[in-house]
């Protein structure tokens, strides 16, 4: 079948999906939706529809993630009048009322209604595109997430999918590389190297066999952009990988995906099978003479495998240890052959760029950081989720307007970007425009896009210790600066959080960090000290308080704090007594309670439970 | 330690894989998925199949966090240690599970009922803190909720 015919068929299926006489229910069922209970909601809809005799006239689809994780489970219902209403926080118990209201009585079920998806209707609900979390976004990489059924190739095709591939295959590989160069796209895995230039190197290498690899080993704790794209729109990534293969002259592509993402792997497998069926993989793709195939390799849980040379070792069946460069992978990579590695988000942008043109993409962003970037917004923030914004947007817009500010009205303290390789950006930089250069200027990095909001209750020394626990554990041990450096940093930080540190140790932390930066073999070691160095730079006071006064100003370091009950605000309700796992709280009913300090393990359960704010920490 | 009953199917599993080195990790993954852990017999069989030394296979297997060398418990509990989970109190959750089950991360309880594992990040950060019990993801957990969840399985 020719490509235009395929597109036509897909268009028909999409039309039927979009404007039918039938009812339609979309349930956000990516991993986070499922964790919030989307599959139970799905079951409830199926059984309730059957009960109300509507099964025959209603279609249910599982879609990917709209990025509004705070509002999961999200359900979109299109009823009789064609209005599409988005409901939030849906639980199985709400389902009968939802069906009854919108499908039987043509009404909106107001208690859960969040927005109306259809524009221009006279409905007393905000429109989806005007929601504060959506309004500032430009969704290029996430263009289809939560909109299409990711298991249907036709949905992807109908929304312009694979037209970038068709265009690329009609061009010369050099022209494709020029198009990507024009877009200004830089590697979204974290390092920010210009993608077109990288492709150019691999193109120039002469070899009988070349490889392209999609790095889907999203290892940064706190980042889930890649998972969301793979689960919600796998073809966008695979199309990008195929285009990369064509551009550099590779006939085999690998997707190296973390084993912790089973749904992403399932979606990739399904999508690859569909590509084969349609002749998008195999010999002579779309009659262009280009041959290409894609294999999936599951990661096995090693953060260092996000590093290119480690990742390739892992595919070869070795311990995933990095090696020194040169030779660069573009010259000698996987199995010793020229190899190009790009991250998931980069490749999902590539397919969009080939569809709409490099100049279009370059129209977004700042001079040196073009296009958009996805961020995983989490931590102490009201609207957690996944957002895609043009480069250059301010941190304030992301945190306050999109994210709805700090959870529980607490004070904003810092935002952590770049995961264990990044740093903490303190509150005074809230108006900083987000791009590669500006983040680097304040000592952090763009990283892959994790953005963790930290409030006044988080201790910066503890944050640094947390990240070092991670990197110390994940250091592969091949080079001394990283192996010993992470161990010693962690040891010192632990001493400080226990109130046993000395002021001299602060200088030692800086020295070790500096050595690691310059002498480590790979990115893991070179950046592992960043969380320590940035917190030391901006929060030295907090370090000093632990050392000199043996206190943790944020009230987070367990060795240095004590919980007490304020007799004035305690009502004696007994909720804390039931929450305490070690029976450390005593008191008569309706009388102020007390905490027995010898027994208390400082788990904070009482503080979490108390509705009256009577549990104090000092 | 009880011998896994299905070990005799190992040969047929191996036969599905070629003898190239790059099959090592996928093979270990499938063996573990099928038999729940990597027993010494299984490692030996994989080594023989790929013509590698057992040392070499252990070298690779121990490098990656995914592989286990003792049988997991009847209920396998994973606690996410991601950044978002950390700032929302995953340490307390890990402590609560340890207190309830009497085991530390990486261990299996003496009665074989529970095993506990720390996982770097599940990527469900928006629902932090996250606990995974027998492959079902539970979001927005607290120490008390987790303790209850575990006690229900006892």
- Label residue A187 by pLDDT band (50, 70, 90): very high
CB distance from A254 to chain B under 8 Å? Answer: no
Q: Is the pLDDT of residue B125 over 90?
A: no
Interchain proximity B89–A300, CB inside 8 Å: no
The residue ranges of DSSP E strands in B29-113, in sequence order, are 75-80
Distance CA A56, CA A14 (A): 20
Tell whether the model's pLDDT for residue A20 goes beyond 80: no
Q: What pLDDT is stored for residue B3 in this prediction?
A: 46
Helices A344-356 and A234-248: angle between axes, nearest 10 degrees: 80
Contact A3, A40 (CB under 8 A): no
Higher pLDDT, A118 or A375: A375
Phi, psi angles (nearest 5°) of residue B60:
-70, -45
pLDDT over 60 at B6, yes or no: no
Query: How close does chain B come to A605, measured CA to CA in Å?
Result: 7
Contact assessment for residue A242 and residue A280, using Cβ atoms and an 8 Å cutoff: yes
pLDDT at B4: 47
pLDDT (mean) for A355-370 = 97
- Cα–Cα distances in Å, from B49 out to A461, B22, B29? 49, 13, 15
| Predicted structure pTM score | 0.94
Q: CA-CA distance, A340 to A312, in Å (whole number)?
A: 11
Mean pLDDT, range A407-423, rounded to an integer:
92
What pLDDT, in 10s, does the model give residues A529-551? 999 999 999 999 999 999 999 99
Separation of alpha carbons A427 and A435, rounded Å: 17
d(CA A256, CA A284): 25
Peptide bond into A299 cis (omega under 30): no
A127-166 in b/e burial notation, b at 16+ Cβ within 10 A?
bbeebebbeebbbbbbbbbbbbbbebbbbbbbbebbbbbb
For A226-236, the pLDDT digits (tens) are 999 999 999 99
Q: What is the ipTM of this complex?
A: 0.91
Q: Which pLDDT score, from 0 to 100, does residue B2 have?
A: 44
How deeply is A546 buried, as exposed, middle or buried, from its count of CB atoms within 10 A (0-12, 13-18, 19+)? buried
Quick one: average pLDDT of A65-80? 91
Q: Are A479 and A487 in contact (CB under 8 A)?
A: no
Does residue B62 have a pLDDT over 60?
Answer: yes
β-bridge partners, A425: A415
Neighbours of A51 (CB within 10 A): 11
Whether chain A has a CB inside 8 Å of the CB on B124: the answer is yes
Q: Does the beta carbon of A32 lie under 8 angstroms from any beta carbon of chain B?
A: yes
Q: What is the reported pLDDT for A18? A: 86
| Burial per residue of B12-29, b for 16 or more beta-carbon CB atoms within 10 angstroms, e otherwise | ebbeeeeeeebbbbebbb
Write out pLDDT tens, residues A560-598: 999 999 999 999 999 999 888 889 999 999 999 999 999
What would the pLDDT profile of A131-171 be if each residue is shown by its tens digit? 999 999 999 999 999 999 999 999 999 999 999 999 999 99
For A287, A379, B84, the CA distances from A385, given in Å and listed in that order, are: 42, 10, 12
Nearest-neighbour CA in chain B from A410: distance (Å):
14
Q: What's the number of CA atoms in the CB half-sphere (13 Å) around residue A438?
A: 18
State what percent of residues in chain A have pLDDT above 90: 87
pLDDT band of A83, cuts 50, 70, 90: confident
pLDDT confidence of residue B7: 64
Residue A428 has pLDDT above 70, yes or no: yes
Q: What is the pLDDT of residue B144?
A: 83
User: Residue B144: its chain A contacts at CB < 8 A?
Assistant: 579, 581, 605, 608-609
**Helical spans, DSSP H, in A249-380:** 262-277, 308-315, 344-356, 358-362
């Amino acid at each position: 079948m020719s490509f235009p015919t395929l597109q036509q068929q897909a268009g028909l299926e999409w039309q039927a999906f979009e404007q039918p006489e039938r009812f339609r229910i979309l349930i956000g069922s990516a991993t986070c939706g499922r964790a919030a209970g989307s599959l139970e909601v799905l079951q409830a809809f199926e059984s309730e529809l059957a009960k109300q005799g509507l099964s025959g006239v209603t279609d249910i689809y599982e879609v990917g993630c709209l990025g509004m994780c705070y509002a999961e489970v999200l359900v979109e219902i299109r009823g009789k009048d064609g209005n599409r209403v988005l409901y939030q926080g849906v639980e199985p118990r709400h389902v009968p009322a939802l069906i009854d209201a919108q499908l039987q009585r043509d009404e909106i079920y107001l208690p859960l209604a969040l927005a109306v998806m259809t524009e221009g209707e006279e409905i007393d609900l905000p429109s989806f595109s005007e929601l504060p979390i959506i309004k500032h976004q430009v969704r290029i990489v996430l263009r289809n997430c939560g909109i299409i059924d990711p298991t249907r190739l036709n949905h992807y095709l109908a929304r312009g999918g694979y037209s970038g591939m068709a265009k690329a295959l009609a061009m010369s590989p050099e022209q494709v590389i020029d198009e990507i160069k024009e877009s200004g796209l830089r590697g979204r895995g974290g390092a920010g190297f210009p993608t077109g230039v990288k492709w150019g190197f691999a193109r120039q290498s002469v070899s009988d066999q070349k490889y392209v690899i999609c790095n889907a080993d999203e290892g940064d704790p706190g980042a889930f952009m890649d998972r969301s794209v793979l689960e919600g729109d796998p073809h966008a990534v695979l199309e990008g990988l195929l285009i990369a293969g064509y551009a550099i002259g590779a006939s085999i592509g690998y997707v190296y995906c973390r084993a912790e993402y089973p749904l992403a792997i399932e979606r990739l497998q399904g999508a690859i099978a569909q590509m084969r069926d349609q002749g998008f993989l195999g010999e002579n793709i779309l009659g262009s003479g280009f041959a290409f195939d894609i294999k999936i390799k599951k990661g096995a849980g090693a953060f260092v495998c996000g590093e290119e040379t480690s990742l390739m070792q892992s595919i070869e069946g070795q311990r995933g240890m990095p090696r020194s460069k040169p030779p660069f992978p573009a010259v000698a990579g996987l199995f010793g052959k020229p190899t190009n590695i790009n991250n998931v988000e980069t490749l999902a942008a590539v397919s969009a760029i080939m569809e709409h043109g490099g100049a279009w993409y370059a129209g977004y962003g700042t001079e040196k950081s073009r296009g958009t970037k996805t961020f995983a917004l989490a931590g102490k923030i009201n609207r957690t989720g996944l957002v895609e914004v043009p480069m250059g947007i301010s941190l304030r817009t992301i945190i306050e307007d999109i994210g709805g500010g700090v959870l529980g009205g607490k004070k904003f303290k810092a935002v952590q970007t770049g995961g264990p390789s990044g740093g903490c950006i303190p509150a005074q930089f809230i108006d900083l425009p987000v791009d590669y250069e500006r983040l680097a200027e304040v000592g952090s990095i763009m990283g892959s896009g994790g953005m963790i909001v930290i409030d006044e209750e988080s201790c910066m020394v503890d944050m640094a210790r947390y990240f070092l626990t991670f990197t110390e554990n994940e250091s592969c041990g091949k080079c001394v600066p990283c192996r010993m450096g992470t161990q010693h940093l962690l040891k010192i930080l632990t001493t400080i959080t226990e109130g046993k540190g000395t002021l001299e140790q602060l200088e030692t932390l800086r020295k070790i960090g500096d050595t690691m930066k310059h002498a480590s073999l790979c990115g893991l070691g070179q950046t592992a000290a960043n969380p320590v160095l940035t917190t030391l730079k901006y929060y030295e006071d907090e370090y000093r308080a632990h050392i000199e006064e043996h206190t943790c100003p944020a009230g987070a370091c367990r060795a240095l704090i004590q919980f007490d009950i304020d007799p004035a605000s305690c009502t004696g309700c007994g909720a804390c007594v039931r929450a305490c796992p070690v029976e450390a709280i005593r008191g008569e009913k309706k009388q102020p309670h007390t905490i027995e300090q010898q027994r208390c393990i400082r788990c904070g359960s009482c503080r979490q439970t108390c509705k009256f704010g009577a549990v104090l920490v000092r | 330690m009880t011998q896994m009953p299905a070990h005799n199917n190992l040969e047929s599993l191996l036969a599905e894989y070629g003898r190239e080195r790059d099959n090592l990790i996928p093979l270990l993954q499938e063996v573990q998925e099928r038999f729940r852990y990597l027993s010494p017999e299984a490692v030996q069989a994989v080594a023989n199949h790929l013509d590698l030394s057992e040392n070499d296979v252990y070298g690779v297997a121990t490098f990656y966090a995914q592989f286990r060398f003792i049988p997991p418990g009847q209920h396998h509990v994973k606690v996410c240690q991601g950044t978002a989970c950390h700032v929302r109190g995953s340490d307390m959750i890990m402590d609560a599970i340890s207190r309830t089950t009497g085991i530390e991360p990486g261990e299996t309880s003496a009665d074989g009922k529970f095993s506990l594992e720390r996982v770097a990040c599940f990527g469900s950060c928006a629902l932090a803190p996250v606990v995974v019990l027998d492959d079902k993801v539970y979001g927005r957990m607290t120490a008390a909720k987790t303790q209850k969840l575990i006690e229900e399985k006892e």
